[in-house]
Structure 1
Amino acid sequence: MPNFPPILKELWGAAQMIVEKVSAVVVKIVLLAWQAIYWLFERFVDLIHLIAGKL
């Protein structure tokens, strides 16, 4: 890392921390959304099987 003034180093460290926290939250949201979509897809498939079974 180049020789920046201390304030810039602190700001850079804070920015990195914020990016890490935000990316962790984004990953959690994506995983939860994927689980919800998968669950809905499974229910949809079950429903199709149910309807197909009655035909």
Structure 2
Amino acid sequence: MSLEAEHECPECGETQTFWKVAAMNLHLGKKTKWQCEECDYGFIEIDGISTAQPA
């Protein structure tokens, strides 16, 4: 998995580059924290399930 990804940012209102700021393996799957390059909005993904708010 790369260190950056394109996602919709609800704070910026458009697609932005998000940077991986942390990752670890849990019993639920891989937990990854992402942070927007522009506004520092962040979300967490665990095994493909995201806490990101829809834009």
Give the TM interval when normalised to the shorter protein. Answer: under 0.3
Richer in strand (by share): 2
Richer in helix (by share): 1
| TM-score normalised by length of structure 1 | 0.16
| TM-score normalised by length of structure 2 | 0.16
